[in-house]
Amino acid sequence: METKKRIGIGKAHSKIILMGEHAVVYGYSALAFPLKSVEVVCRVMEADHILIWDKEDPLSTAIFAALEQLGIDKAYLTYDIASTVPERRGMGSSAAVAIAAIRAIFDYYQADLSEDLLEDLVNQAERVAHQNPSGLDAKTCLSDLPIKYSRQTGFEQLDLNVGAYLVIADTGLHGKTKEAVQKVANLGDLAQPHLEKLGELAEKALVVTCPTAFGKVMSQAHRHLQAIGVSSDLSDHLVATAINHGALGSKMSGGGLGGCIIALAASQEQAKDLAKTLEKEGAKQTWIERL
């Protein structure tokens, strides 16, 4: 345990929900997509003071979960985080930061870390960040492939190949997942038909055979998310802008009341044009991924 590196390094990527947000809370399926180009890097280094656990802080909890696992109770170390994942946008920032930090600790102490143990430690930090996380963020931030999740069937890796490009646009506004989930709960029976449809659309997205049909499913989902009151004016504006500029489909993504929208483009060229237009129309940042 005493053969430490000078600097321990850990990396992790972020994620975005493609379909099924909110419906997943009620037992339906959700699909999440790893954003491998949007990354967090954590560095761990020696320090002259003992690290103190802030039990309210998910990152600190991740670090201490890793240290405890390694049997280290007094750690003279410090860490820093370099992240391109904006916080509280439904991009799995807290999970990605926890994964990077745990990997960095294990790298620093030159210890082996299995994927199962890593997921378990990350979920300890996610419970501090989100109280009752489904584990979908952690799973997708740990996966190179898209993930399907439902309470009944658990997690499944997907070999999704839509043959199109996904544009992710950040409204720059913090998503308010807790508030949005409560808003839907307050709607009671009024939300039920929309949640059922959102669940059906998540399943349908997996069986459609062309990008146009996938896009249509996304746009239908957006209308149901609007109907349960979890979109925002800027998200609606960006979704409408994407459609008016030729996107095959578009929707908000994640908990909502802010956060990100996603749009489907037929080609990389179109995706680049869409990204530029969305930035002109208020998006703070955009990313493009092959889907």
Give the C-alpha separation, 244 to 97, whole Å.
36
Q: Binders of ligand MEV among 170-199, rule CB under 6 A?
A: 177, 181
Nearer to ligand MEV, 61 or 253 (CB): 253
Nearer to ligand MEV, 230 or 274 (CB): 230
Q: What residues have CB less than 8 Å from 181, skipping those under 6 apart?
A: 22, 25, 255
Nearer to ligand MEV, 182 or 244 (CB): 182
Q: What residues have CB less than 8 Å from 121, skipping those under 6 apart?
A: 62, 65, 66, 69, 98, 102
Q: How far is the CB of 253 from ligand MEV (least distance, A)?
A: 8
Which of 13, 14, 18, 21 is close enough to bind ligand MEV by CB under 6 A?
21
CB distance 58 to 129 below 8 Å: yes
Nearer to ligand MEV, 107 or 137 (CB): 137
Q: Does 200 bind ligand MEV (CB under 6 A)?
A: no
3-state DSSP assignment of residue 143: coil
- Select from 21-29, 119-127, 193-201, 242-250 the region that touches ligand MEV (CB under 6 A): 21-29
Q: How far is the CB of 90 from ligand MEV (least distance, A)?
A: 5
Q: Does 90 bind ligand MEV (CB under 6 A)?
A: yes
The residue among 154, 120, 116, 117 whose CA lies nearest residue 134 is 154
Nearer to ligand MEV, 63 or 166 (CB): 166
Q: Binders of ligand MEV among 252-291, rule CB under 6 A?
A: 254-255
- By rule CB under 6 A, what string of x and - marks binding of each residue 99-138 to ligand MEV? -----------------------------------x----
- Select from 16-24, 35-43, 46-54, 157-165 the region that touches ligand MEV (CB under 6 A): 16-24
CB distance 256 to 175 below 8 Å: yes
Give the C-alpha separation, 103 to 99, whole Å.
6
CB distance 259 to 287 below 8 Å: no
Torsions phi, psi for 56 (to 5 deg): -85, -15
Single-letter code of the amino acid located at 165: Y
Give the C-alpha separation, 172 to 218, whole Å.
21
Q: Residues interacting with ligand MEV, by CB under 6 A?
A: 17, 21-22, 24-25, 90, 134, 177, 181, 254-255
